[in-house]
């Protein structure tokens, strides 16, 4: 089964002038991509396309997305790819896309300080998301994997600190 990623989506379509709404469009498409209920997905997809095509700024992109991506949603929507595993490279590419489009506004950054500032903002936001998920009790496989190790690691470091101070 081939896999189509929305990250490969061409943001540079002809007459693509919706710079102010790009972040919103990107987040909407990522939400669609990650949606897991197969029964509701076609209606959500159609609603998103209608919203894109109703707005004057996103009309061209809505037509482009409808023509190129809505017909083969089985290749990019999570609800149709439940048995497909996602590898680490895809996570890395997703992070790079998020940094580039959401934090750097699609611009090439030549200055190191601006790049680091964007990375630090990304880390801050991801940390906040993780804290919120942990507080609400929503655990994914990675949080479950490391949550049982945290108390052991903390007691280990406390033990090392006490022994180091006493010596």
The answer to the question of residue 43 being in a domain is yes
The series of mean pLDDT values per 10 residues for the chain, 167 residues long, is 50 56 85 87 92 88 89 85 68 87 90 93 90 76 56 48 45
Counting the structural domains of the chain, the total is 2
Whether residues 8 and 81 fall in one domain = yes
User: Do residues 66 and 3 both lie within one domain?
Assistant: yes
> Which residue segment(s) compose the domain that 157 sits in?
140-167
Give domain status of residue 107, yes or no: no
> Is the separation of the CB atoms in 101 and 12 below 8 Å?
no
CB neighbour class for 94 (10 Å; exposed up to 12, middle 13-18, buried from 19): middle
Of 24, 11, 34, 18, the closest CA to residue 90 belongs to: 34
Residue 152 lies in a domain: yes
pTM, 2 dp:
0.49
pLDDT of residue 167: 37
In a domain, 99, yes or no: no
DSSP structural state of residue 7:
G
């Amino acid at each position: 089964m081939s896999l189509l990623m929305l990250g490969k989506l061409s943001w540079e379509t002809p007459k693509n002038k919706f710079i102010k709404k790009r972040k919103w469009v990107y987040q909407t498409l990522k939400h669609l991509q990650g949606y897991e209920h197969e029964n509701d997905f076609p209606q959500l997809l159609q609603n998103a396309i209608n919203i894109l095509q109703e707005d004057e700024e996103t009309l061209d992109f809505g037509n482009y997305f409808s023509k190129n991506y809505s017909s083969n949603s089985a290749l990019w929507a999570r609800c149709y790819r439940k048995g497909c595993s996602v590898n680490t490279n895809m996570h890395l590419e997703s992070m790079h896309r998020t940094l580039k489009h959401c934090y750097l506004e699609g611009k090439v950054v030549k200055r190191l300080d601006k790049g680091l500032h964007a990375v630090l903002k990304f880390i801050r936001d991801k940390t906040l998301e993780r804290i919120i998920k942990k507080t609400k009790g929503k655990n994914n496989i990675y949080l479950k994997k490391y949550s049982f190790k945290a108390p052991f690691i903390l007691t280990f470091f406390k033990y090392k600190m006490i022994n180091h101070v006493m010596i």
